Structure 1
Amino acid sequence: MDFRQLTYFLAIVDHGGFNRAAAALYVSQPSLSQAIQGLERDLGSALFHRMGRRVVLTEAGTALVPRAREALHALELARASVGAVRELRGGRLEIAAMASPTVEPLSTMIQRFTERYPAVSLSLRVALTREDVVDTVRTGGCELGLLTTSSPLPNADVVPHHVGEDRLVLVTPMKGPFPAGRAVQREQLEGHRLIVGQRGTGIRAYVDDLKAQGIDVRIAVETEHRMAFLPLVLAGVGLAVVTESWADLSQRAGALVLDLEPASLQHNILVSRKGQLTPAAGAFLEIAVPPAHRNSL
């Protein structure tokens, strides 16, 4: 077993098949297949069920995934501890993030980081829910993750750092049902059509809570694509509850942004994996998290 085989194995897992993994790695599919066959011989077990062009992890393959990530992470730590990467004159950092905090505070964090360390390449991975963020960091898919939540994190396998708060606001067409400059009481949403995200997000939890309180709101569209909210609102499809980080973009696009009463806060949490981090991840934390907020949850 070698690190090349483990890299190929994880590429197949992450990209969903041999063809996509080969393309991402810039290797031929026969070379990729031979490497995996060699790994399976070394381990004495098949790692994938091959069903035409599709592959599904076997039980042995599933067990190997976290160990393979740990091994490759250890190698990255070894490489990052010497030479240019140690001095952050190169290297790569992967961050998993939910959609809302990608607008803010992540944009500002990245701006500050890239100004100081312009040679470090950043890769942002989409995560739909806070559980997706935590799981990606916990299993080693990314070293850092950014999420929003209205309740404490149940998972103790990552280290959380509080990096600010966002109020929820209501976005409507400019000629919408509510006047500008006046907060909207949650009861006033009765009977209105809303554009919502998928379950597992704070925005969706707010809407579900309205329904649980007997406020009859109608779900016009449910979508995982947060960037679809604003065009749908402007088209008159429905209203949207979003975090305040979207307010400036919404106003510049011609929408009306209104406060909601009572106020509802979403906490922005940057999570890191337990154990030693690469220099790039450590430097990002130093820039992104105020000292008073480190490990604050």
Structure 2
Amino acid sequence: MDFRQLTYFLAIVDHGGFNRAAAALYVSQPSLSQSIQALERDLGSCLFHRMGRRVVLTEAGTALVPRAREALHALELARAGVDAVRELRGGRLEIAAMASPTIDPLSTMVRRFAERFPAVSLGLRVALTREDVIEMVRTGRCELGLLTTSSPLPSRDVVPHHVGDDKLVLVTPMDGPFPRGRAVRAEQLEGHRLIVGQRGTGIRTYVDDLKAQGVDVRIAVETEHRMAFLPLVLGGVGLAVVTESWADLSVRAGALVLDLEPAVVQSNVLVSRKAQPTPAARAFLEIAVPRRS
């Protein structure tokens, strides 16, 4: 049984015979008859009593009519839904993101996309490390992912799209150990307590590299929750190394933001699947990825 057969069946019912149905559908009468015969063989029941040029529904045919209408209606709804998604008049786009780039550039990307395609719902999923982002995109849990990295990505798994850079900065209390307006050298962090993220993040890698270079920094708190960094810094628990995208929020919260020396720059990368992206994902990429002149 297929939808073409059901369409033919209902046309015969609605037009009162094979000839009229064939004319309405712009198909030959033999072709229409063959399709109905195939449907009857599939169902194992006769659907019409043939009375000359007239037809009358059998009991089986009468039972099929409402089910056939329901099936064709469901198909029309499905087609309408696909058209809406294709034309971005509906649908949903899932995006995985690490914590650091959520304030920016992700918030800017989402705002621009929502302004242009307000009917598309966005789902933002938390990913703790760049490997988590890649896995969520590679396996299809999310169509796109945003991560921060200081090293090349395994391009065999996903397609990377560079969307800007973000340098690391130091966040301290306003009355902290370093003067305003002066960059803090890596060795000056010796002996200070730091609030760090989990392993696998660029921020944690920076701190681990300091320790590997012989700078004796102390890890006061290790947390997966970036929003905990500011309250902990302002509460005097320790200092925090974060991406510059968090600088404005930190200043407004009453913290001091200082450059690090030497400067450490990380790349923000939007990743997509190797497969053909959906219309919503393609539209998001067009908005988010800078065009090369």
Gaps of 5+ in 2: 1-77
Identity of aligned residues (%): 84
Shift, 1:264, TM fit: 0.1
Distance 1:240 1:229 in 2: 7
Amino acid in structure 2 at the alignment position of 1:189 = L
Name the SS for the 1:157 alignment partner: coil
Alignment of 1:214-233 (within 5 A): 214-233=214-233
Stretches (4+) displaced over 2 A: 78-82
Question: 2 CA distance for matches of 1:86 and 1:155?
Answer: 27
Q: Which residue of 2 aligns with 1:128?
A: 128
| 1:288 to partner: Cα distance | 0.2
Give the letter aligned to residue 199 of structure 1: R
Q: CA deviation at 1:117?
A: 0.2
CA deviation digits over 1:87-123, x for unaligned, max 9? Answer: 1011100000000101100000001000000000000
1:164 matched to 2:156? The reply is: no
Q: How does 1:228-239 map to 2 (within 5 A)?
A: 228-239=228-239
Alignment of 1:26-175 (within 5 A): 82-175=82-175
Q: Which residue of 2 aligns with 1:283?
A: 283
Partner of 1:273: 273
Residues 167-190 of structure 1, C-alpha deviation per residue, up to 9 Å, x if partnerless? 100000000000000000011000
1:106 counterpart letter in structure 2 = L
Q: Does the residue aligned with 2:227 lie in a helix, a strand or coil?
A: helix
Structure showing greater Rg:
2
Gaps of 5+ in 1: 1-77
TM-score where L is the length of structure 2: 0.72
RMSD: 1.5
Instruction: State the number of aligned residues.
Output: 216
TM superposition shift of 1:291? 2.5
The separation in 2 between residues aligned to 1:292 and 1:229, in whole angstroms, is 36
The offset of 1:154, in angstroms, is 2.8
1:122-179: per-residue Cα shift (whole Å, max 9, x none)? 0000000000000000000000000000111135210000000001000000000000
Letter in 2 for 1:132: D
Any idea what the Cα deviations from partners look like across 1:53-95, whole Å, max 9, x if unmatched? xxxxxxxxxxxxxxxxxxxxxxxxx979942111101110000
Structure-1 separation of matches of 2:142 and 2:122: 11
